Amino acid sequence: MKKRIISLLMAYTLIICLLPVQALADEPRETVTRYADGSYIVTSVEESLTARISGTKSGTAIKNYYSNNNVLQWKAVLDATFTYNGSSATCTQVNGLNVTIYDSGWSVGSKSTSKSGNTAYGYLTMERSILGSTQGVPVTLALTCDKNGKLS
């Protein structure tokens, strides 16, 4: 009987110890947008581990574009820095907007960045040639920091 009670207490303690760890785990920061032609964009947010000074946060918003046969065509990365204090957040700097092209059929037509309040923006026009004409595809990246330093 004593062994059973001790086993139950140990199991209960183990469950209680694991619950806070699960509660602190980040929710997924990845979304998928699918298009009628079967292609899709995977959008994700990553926090920089190098800029974890209290009240300052840096991170990236990433868009990976895949063809309808699941081949990565291009990747766009918006990098920005924020300050936050528990009651508000501000985008202090857009550090860059970089594009890596994996399929030579694509090119960058234009790109620019801006910031407003607690959000950094990246604007791209990705271009591809189809049957002798150029098709421009507008792409917007946004990275937002909330008052507690959470990036989305």
Q: What is the pLDDT along the chain (152 residues), one digit of tens a residue?
A: 555 554 444 444 444 444 443 333 344 578 999 999 999 999 999 998 765 567 899 999 999 999 999 999 999 999 999 999 999 999 999 999 999 999 999 999 999 999 999 999 999 999 998 888 888 899 999 999 999 999 99
Backbone angles phi, psi at 147, to 5 degrees: -60, -20
- Of 79, 90, 89, 92, the C-alpha closest to 50 is 79
- Of 94, 148, 85, the C-alpha closest to 119 is 94
